[in-house]
A and B are shown apart, each in its own frame.
Chain A
Amino acid sequence: MAKDSKVSPTQRAYQKIARKHEAKRPVMKNCIKAFLIGGLVCTFGQLVQTGYIYYFDFTEKTAGDPTVATLIFLATLLTGLGVYDRFGHFAGAGSAVPVTGFANSMASAAIEHRTEGYVLGVSSNMFKLAAAVIVFGVVAAFFIVIIKMTFFGL
């Protein structure tokens, strides 16, 4: 959003007109799609997790890691095959919010930039979108733990 103070009256008038003609986003429809797809991805994750507990010697606590790794593997594979992007276009946040979306953002950036080489292309572009998540997550976690330890002990 532009800062109002730096906008001339003409620009403001233009923005008003532009906003009127902006395509309305089908918010309700998008939310239902996100709910269904996101729910299904999580249910599938639960299925994988339950499978790991029953067929391999994982406990409820330790089954999380292989489950996440499996989902990431599948998301990367689907991204490579070009399926995930079409799926993501349909599902919106339903495909972006689960950890599969995190994997998709890394894999698609890595594949897209392979023509620039493995060092400058693949590895330095891999975290283009994922970096925001990691940086903000780590900084927030750091301060939360500091606050928690300082004021509430452990």
Chain B
Amino acid sequence: MIFVNAFIVGGIICVIGQVLLDVGKLTPAHTLSTLVVSGAVLDGIGLYEPLIDFAGAGATVPITSFGNALVHGAITEAEQNGWVGILTGIFEVTSAGISSAIIFSFIAALLFKPKG
């Protein structure tokens, strides 16, 4: 039941974000940065991959997976090429997300006018 797991885990991560916003009174930028760093730390100690296996998109869709993907790409490249791999590999996995966000946002700015 990967769909149920995705719903629950994804929901819980969003609740953590909401608690940081409302109770911790952080700005959205601080909240998202915190979540990204948490995702990176979780992957560093080897806990994020099992979460992805368990929850699928529930773990890959929230922004925490961005931190996970950064660490993951860097480690994979470092395994192959040594220390310089950290620099060349850091954006390897996240490239799809960042590139598509840049490209689609630029096209959106060409096509749409700001709404009141």
Contacts and interface: CB of A to CB of B under 8 A. Distances in A.
Interface of A: 1, 25, 27, 30-31, 33-43, 45-50, 64-69, 71-73, 76-77, 79-82, 85, 92-94, 96-103, 106-107, 109-115, 118, 122-123, 126, 129-130, 132-134, 136-138, 140-142, 144-149, 154
Contacts of A50: 2
Interface string B70-102: 110011001100010010001100001110111
Contacts of A46: 2-3, 6, 56-58
7 contacts: A27-B18, A99-B66, A106-B101, A107-B101, A133-B33, A145-B71, A154-B78
Closest 10 CB pairs of A and B: A42-B10, A38-B14, A39-B11, A93-B17, A45-B57, A141-B70, A80-B112, A46-B57, A93-B18, A34-B18
Nearest to A154: B79
A73 to B, nearest CB: 5
Interface residues on B, range: 35 or more
A81 B91 CA distance: 30
Given A42-B58, A43-B6, A43-B57, A94 B14 contact: yes
A81 B112 contact: yes
Contact of A93 (B7, B21, B33, B109): B21
Nearest to A32: B15
Contact of A144 (B31, B41, B65): B41
B97 A69 contact: yes
Contacts of A96: 17, 28, 31-32
Interface string B24-41: 010011111101110111
Contacts of B75: 145, 148, 154
